[in-house]
Amino acid sequence: HVQLVESGGGLVQPGGSLRLSCEASGNTANTNCMGWFRQAPGKEREPVAAIYTGADSTHYVDSVKGRFTISQDGSRTTVYLQMNTLTPEDTAMYYCAAGFVPFSKGWVEATNFDYWGQGTQVTVS
């Protein structure tokens, strides 16, 4: 089992920045990918970004490309999401996820992730 704990959310003005962190513990050897998803009120959960931890391969949805950066620490158990140039449309609950995820677009499917954090709220206003 893997436990995920997110932190770093908050209230920020449009154009501002936030950095989210996700710390994984437990049997992370069973995972190859960590991702960030978000869900705004009244909307479906959507993928934001992911990193395949072994290859250090990063992926983003089009709406955040050039603004968000996903990265990991040297131990590959903490993943960060640096969010710049935030807009009100980025307001959502952000969830960290981990799992053994197929390559080639597997990261966009929430069902491919077995472990989820409790979420951290990001509000841009």
Q: In this predicted model, what pLDDT tens digit does every residue of 5-36 receive, in sequence order?
A: 999 999 999 999 999 999 999 999 999 999 99
| pLDDT given for residue 51 in this prediction | 97
| pLDDT given for residue 105 in this prediction | 83
What are the beta bridge partners of residue 47? 37
What are the beta bridge partners of residue 96? 36
Q: What is the CA angle 112-118-123, rounded to 5?
A: 105
Residues in the chain: 125
Q: Residues in the chain with pLDDT < 70? A: none
| pLDDT given for residue 87 in this prediction | 98
Q: Which residues, 6+ apart, have CB-to-CB distance to 84 below 8 Å?
A: 17, 67, 68, 69
